[in-house]
Amino acid sequence: MLLKSLKYNVQMIPCCVFDIGRKVFGDINDHLALYVTLNDGTELLCDVGFSRNFLTPLFFKVDCVQFATNGFFRLTKTADGLFIMVERGYLIEKNGDEDFMLPSFPPETKIVDIDPSRIKWTPSYRFSVDFKKQTTKLQDFKDASFHVINSPNCILNHLTICRIEKFQPSFIGAYGIIGNEFVEYFVKNGIETQKHFPLLNKEQNELKNLLNEKFNLCFERNVSLVN
């Protein structure tokens, strides 16, 4: 593992993903996050494979609001005290003429002083509060990988999904293809807006140009979208 080869103290965290459609957590730990401890004792939550989640590591601190380039995030304990939950959120609206500005550059996580009730929160995943007592290896995710590939409840098996995060002076957000739509996600001062554009399989030149321009993907064969 790269971080371990760079002499970081790393521990794997098995996580259970929240199903947004069904509004429930799954029944298997099929996602992997990383708990990283720096030499100065700073504890971080790192994750590189969960689409719309944080682009920069979160501080491993419970019940504080963090802004990680592409939105707000927080770690909270569930009501039963058994799990730590990762949530992402966006400002619901500004209050009056309040000038609320968030750090944009450089790309790094900041703990921000804001009332959490002003943010619309969505669970991403949860993990056991006792994860530090567990010894987790990559081999432990063999069954989870089978579940992700074959489960009818996994969105990855039903739609064409392609997403890339962007962090540029002129554009902070993401580009995505969900089913047969191209979506532009804009994030400004913590508020996300979206623009949706329909895509057609028969318009192969347009589709290939879009994949090349926005996602740096090149295809010679025809591309078929699944909705």
Q: Per-domain residue ranges for the chain?
A: 2-138, 157-215
Segment 127-137 shows an average pLDDT of 89
At 141-173, the pLDDT tens digits run 777 777 777 776 666 666 677 888 776 667 778
Residues in a beta bridge with 121:
89
Q: Read off the pLDDT of each residue in 118-140 and give the average, rounded to a whole number.
A: 88
pLDDT value for 33: 92
Kindly write down the DSSP assignment for every residue of 130-147, as one continuous string: TGGG----GGGGHHHHHH
Cβ–Cβ < 8 Å for 19, 4: no
> Which residue reads 């939105």 in tokens?
71
Residue 69: left if φ>0, alpha if ψ -120 to 50, beta else—which one?
left
Q: What is the mean pLDDT of the chain?
A: 83
Residue type, 32: L
Interatomic CA distance for residues 201 and 27, integer angstroms: 35
Q: Check pLDDT > 60 for residue 101.
A: yes
Q: What is the pTM of this model?
A: 0.75
Average pLDDT over residues 66-73: 84
Mean pLDDT of 113-138: 89
Q: Which residues contact 77 (CB under 8 A, 6 or more apart)?
A: 62, 63, 83, 84, 85, 129
* CB burial string 80-93: b at 16+ within 10 A, e below: eeebbbbbbbbbee
Which 8-state DSSP code applies to residue 154?
A: -
**Interval 16-26 mean pLDDT:** 84
Per-residue pLDDT, averaged over 99-127, amounts to 82
Using alpha carbons only, what angle is made at residue 18 by residues 100 and 143, rounded to the nearest 5 degrees?
140
User: Would you tell me which CATH number, out of the four given (3.30.300.10, 3.30.2140.20, 3.40.50.300, 2.60.120.10), belongs to the domain 2-138?
Assistant: 3.30.2140.20
Calculate mean pLDDT across residues 198-222: 87
Among 8-17, 21-30, 90-99, name the one with the lowest average pLDDT: 90-99
The reported pLDDT for the residue numbered 97 is 45
Residues whose CB is less than 8 angstroms from the CB of residue 73 and which lie 6 or more positions away in sequence, other chains included: 53, 54, 58, 65, 66, 67, 86, 87, 88, 89
Strand, coil or helix: 12? strand
CB-based contact 176:54 (threshold 8 Å): no
- Residue 40: its pLDDT value, please? 92
